[in-house]
Amino acid sequence: MKLFTFVFAAALAFSGAISAQNLTDRINVNFPNPVMVNGVTLPAGEAYIQVVRNASTVMLTVRSESGEHATVLVSRVNTADSENHDTKVILDQKDGLYRLNRVLLPDHTALQVLDAQ
């Protein structure tokens, strides 16, 4: 089956509003559909993504307004994109399920979700 990628940003449809507070620390997002993160299905609606760093790893903790949360290991990657862009959350859709794929930051950094398999 085809893999569809959806980009949710402040100006996009589906009320995919994202704003950042201290861009590398916390990202507020409004998911229009339930999203799976590391095996946990988070409901549609308000959520935030917290970037958690330590000496050797970077993780994202995604917490919904209703309290459900999941943490996933990510790899920090520089993007070749030469344009400045807003913070974006990239979701993949396959078989009707949305999954967190990566977070793009304005400093041309991507936080790519690593498969747990």
pLDDT band at 14 (very low <50, low <70, confident <90, very high): very low
Q: What is the DSSP secondary-structure string of 18-39?
A: EEEETTTTEEEEEESS-EEETT
Instruction: List, for residues 55-68, the tens digit of each pLDDT value.
Output: 888 999 999 999 99
Q: pTM of the predicted model, to two decimals?
A: 0.74
Half-sphere exposure of 117 (CA within 13 A, CB side): 2
Local structure of residue 54 (DSSP, 8 states): -
Region label for 55, one of left (φ > 0), alpha (ψ between -120 and 50) or beta (otherwise): alpha
Find, among 35, 11, 13, the residue nearest to 49 by Cα. Answer: 35
pLDDT band at 4 (very low <50, low <70, confident <90, very high): very low
Instruction: List, for residues 65-108, the tens digit of each pLDDT value.
Output: 999 999 999 998 887 765 667 889 999 999 889 999 999 988 88
